Amino acid sequence: MGLGSVKFLLNHFSQDSDSGDQVYDNTGKEDVTAFEPTLFIVANVDEDTDIKANFVLDTWTAASDTALDGETGASGGGIGNQSRFAGQIGYIKGDELNGHSYNLGISTEYDYRSLSLGGNWTRSFAEDNFTFSVTPQLFLDKAKDFDLENKKEIDFKSRTIWSLDLTGTQLLSPTDLIQFGYTHIQMNGMLNSIAGTVRVDTETTDLFGRQSEKMPSKRIRHALHSKWVHSLSQSSAFHLSYRYYQDDWDIKAHTLEWGPRFSFAQDQYFLMPTLRYYDQTEADFFETSFASEKKHMTSDSDLEEFNSVRYGLAFSSEANTVNVFGYDSDLQWSVGAYHTDRSNDMKYQVLQVGIGLSF
Amino acid sequence: MRFFKVCIFLLIAYFISGCANVKQIERGRMATKIMQLEPQPEEAKFLNSVNSYREGAAGGSSAVGGGCGCN
């Protein structure tokens, strides 16, 4: 039994868009740059027990936040760099038939706080040909909103999210594995996007004719998801996944992802190109601008009707033995790049670099 | 909602009643990285978060939407 593993993963996210109708100053600029270094630690306690932890420190710059606070904030200089700290710790126990895990997480940033609790229970049936898992999660979050009329932040308001995922995985043949599942998500409380605004033609007091967006205080979401992995040879396979989603905000979405997978040099190297297509309808209270004030209003481009295509490539190297502090360990590294084009004039990229050691 | 409930019931009933059709000795390929449902779980965590705050949908492989003010 090994001692465990440590992995450092650096995520970089950049987004370009001039079409965000929710942006306060009417420029539509939604540019975002974010760095998210993450540390993953796994400690093997015994043959059946692991302790897992991960720690995240995000920093980012968002054009839309800067526009809002630049107009109204006390500093007058806008919000430059923001940051978020998050951590999660988990306990995992499993034997041949049953597995269970529990996790506790926190996250904090200047306008958002989160406490999360989660679990997972898994049981195998039919000589491990079928596995069924139940995954509940609870987020006890708090978010600040922005009062445009009085030009000040509003104190933290609660946002509670709970979800339940039921997933079954079946071995179909020595070369085929399929998975089906359902996720139910319920959100309650302050669901406004932080700093999200709408343009209202009859608005006369605000400099840019804007009001804060008004979301319903409840959202019930459903997702049916499936995945198929098929082996083509000892060193190649492909996966295909599909998800159907709908919620009571009238959004319906289809997600399709496909990609081959290759291993080289006796599984030392791994290559995975992917293609992901996503399509959604708009929320029933979405408009790019409003003739008059309504009970629920949003112009958030993420809730607009659009489709997107993501092209990705991931590569990793496994198991190069090195000596670290007197311990023989396996060194792994990985790189990944993903580019997404959205039909409502947004593009975003993700770059990932990881390095890890298993002891 | 009725559609979802029927789908879930049928899927669970089908899989739990399924017979053992792949023996242990035949599962050599299933242990390889290319056959994992999620071969890069740490990398996927960030990608799934991006999907959940840039899209109206959530659930399945994507994060459920809590934990940060990103969305």
DSSP per residue over A27-68, as a string?
S----EEEEEEEEEEEEEEETTEEEEEEEEEEEEEEHHHHHH
Instruction: Decide if A23 is inside a domain.
Output: no
Residue B13: band (very low, low, confident or very high) from pLDDT cuts 50, 70, 90: low
Q: What is the pLDDT of residue A206?
A: 84
Look at residue A76 in the predicted model and tell me its pLDDT. Answer: 36
Q: How far apart are CA A114 and CA B64, in angstroms?
A: 13
- Inter-chain residue contact A272 with B66, CB threshold 8 Å: no
Partners of A14 in the β-ladder: A33, A349
Is A21 within a domain? no
What pLDDT is attached to residue A166? 96
The reported pLDDT for the residue numbered A169 is 94
Q: Per the domain annotation, does A18 fall within a domain?
A: no
**A196 at B interface, C-beta within 8 A:** no
| Chain A with chain B: Cβ pairs closer than 8 A | 213
Q: What are the counts of helices (DSSP H) followed by strands (DSSP E) for chain A?
A: 1, 18
Min CA distance, A338 vs chain B (Å)?
9
pLDDT along chain A (359 residues), means of 10: 90 92 86 92 93 90 61 41 87 90 93 93 92 96 82 84 95 94 96 87 85 94 97 96 97 98 92 98 96 94 96 91 80 97 96 94
**Residue A238 at interface with chain B, using a CB cutoff of 8 Å:** no
With contacts defined as CB-CB under 8 Å, which chain A residues touch B20?
126-127, 129
Q: So what's the ipTM on this one? A: 0.91
Can you give the pTM of this predicted structure?
0.90
Q: Is B59 in contact with A225 (Cβ distance < 8 A)?
A: yes
Q: Note whether A165 contacts B57, CB cutoff 8 Å.
A: no
Q: Is A245 within the bounds of a domain? A: yes
Residue A68 maps to a domain: no
Minimum distance, in Å, between the CA of residue A24 and any CA atom of chain B: 16
CATH number for A98: 2.40.128
What pLDDT does residue B12 have?
A: 62
By CA distance, what is B68's nearest residue in A? A112
Residues of A within 8 A of B65 (CB-CB) are 161, 185, 187
Give pLDDT, residue A329. Answer: 86
Q: What region does A195 belong to: left with phi over 0, alpha with psi -120 to 50, or beta?
A: left
- What is the per-residue pLDDT for A77? 41
Closest CA to A30 of A41, A49, A16: A16
Nearest CA to CA, how far is B67 from chain A (Å)?
5
Nearest to A68 by CA among A20, A13, A14: A20
Closest Cα in chain A to B17: A126
Say if A349 falls within a structural domain: no
d(CA B17, CA A227): 20
Residue A357 lies in a domain: no
- Chain A residue with minimum CA distance to B69: A112
Provide the domain count of chain A. 1
Q: Which residue of A has its CA nearest to B5?
A: A182
In the prediction, which pLDDT does A196 show? 85
- Taking the C-alpha atoms of residue A2 and residue A45, their distance in angstroms, rounded to an integer, is 9
Assigned domain for A352 exists: no
The answer to whether the CB of A49 falls within 8 A of the CB of A98 is no
What is the domain range of residue A293? 94-344
Would you place residue B71 in the very low, low, confident or very high pLDDT band (cuts 50, 70, 90)?
low
